[in-house]
Amino acid sequence: MNSLLLKKLVSFLNHELSLSEFPRDESANGLQVEGSREVRKIGLAVDACDAVFEKAAEQQVDFLLVHHGLIWGGVKSITGILRKRIKVLIDHNISLYACHLPLDWHPEYGNNVQLLRLLGLRKTGEFGEYHGKRIGYRGHLSREISLNDFKARVDKKLGVQSQAIDFNRKVKNIGIVSGGGWSALHDAEEHDIDTFLTGEPSHSAYTLAEELKINLIFAGHYATETLGVRAAGEMLSRKFSTETVFVDHPTGL
Ligand SMILES: [Zn+2]
């Protein structure tokens, strides 16, 4: 397995993951903490937190790519939890690279396009505006099925127990926004969606979906956002022949 220079990896990722598409993302996308100059093992994870950093250190990861990074809206002080988390990274010489909205939206590696593929849907368009850009996708089933059958497919493919709320529609046109994307439901009417899939359950989504007559599926914030970092990891291992590992720390939420 090869090692590669941190500088080279960061500039490759900044371009390949299209960070410049989301200048208004609250997440400071890109390299957030600088570690080892040379990268021998790349870790992929959903969340930047102590448990993930410790697991990454145990596995000799020296570059960690996460979906939810440590720096949101700028750093005001490095104290408390933030200090503790950064210290673990620095003590183990691990770089932290965050990619938030670009890794929801990305047409090749993004959580949403990966969800479409995993569920066997044909992409029909973009969906779900957030910070002025559509980050989700719409997809088609070849024939309509019941919500129960679709839920079973989601559960099997993602390894979850999703929550499905049935508003009496068969499933054929599905809108997908990973994570905490419930507000994309506002776009559903315009696109004739019958079923909306997101990660985290939202109380506010219920009455809106009820009135729009759109089924809801909540498949977990964590589970729906493991796909993007995994896809980015596979791409990196193909491109650079560097060892990669998925650092799993499921929240069950
Ligand atoms: Zn998220």
CATH number of the domain within which 178 lies: 3.40.1390.30
How many distinct structural domains can be found in the chain? 2
Centroid of ligand 1 to alpha carbon of 196 (angstroms) = 17
List, in order, residues 6 or more apart from 52 with CB less than 8 Å away: 45, 64, 66, 247, 249
Task: Return the closest-CA partner of residue 95 out of 51, 34, 14.
Answer: 34
Does residue 98 have a pLDDT over 90? Answer: yes
Centroid of ligand 1 to alpha carbon of 100 (angstroms) = 7
Q: What is the pLDDT of residues 112-153, one digit of tens each?
A: 999 999 999 999 999 988 878 899 999 999 999 999 999 999
Could you tell me if 95 and 142 lie in one domain? no
| Domain with 71 in it | 4-99+226-245
Pair of tokens at residue 11: 């500039």
- Res. 230 pLDDT band, cuts 50 70 90: very high
State residue 228's pLDDT score.
98
Task: Return the closest-CA partner of residue 108 out of 137, 77, 150.
Answer: 137
Does 34 fall in a domain?
Answer: yes
Does residue 2 have a pLDDT over 90? Answer: no
Pair of tokens at residue 60: 């000799």
Does 82 fall in a domain?
Answer: yes
Does 145 fall in a domain?
Answer: yes
Does 251 fall in a domain?
Answer: no
Centroid of ligand 1 to alpha carbon of 113 (angstroms) = 15
Centroid of ligand 1 to alpha carbon of 209 (angstroms) = 21
Centroid of ligand 1 to alpha carbon of 101 (angstroms) = 9
Residue with tokens 């989700």: 136
State residue 188's pLDDT score.
85
Centroid of ligand 1 to alpha carbon of 68 (angstroms) = 6
Could you tell me if 149 and 42 lie in one domain? no
Pair of tokens at residue 89: 């990274």
Could you tell me if 74 and 39 lie in one domain? yes
Does 252 fall in a domain?
Answer: no
Could you tell me if 113 and 91 lie in one domain? no
Mean pLDDT, the chain, as a whole number?
Answer: 96
Could you tell me if 127 and 220 lie in one domain? yes
Centroid of ligand 1 to alpha carbon of 6 (angstroms) = 25
Rounded to two decimals, what is the model's pTM? Answer: 0.96
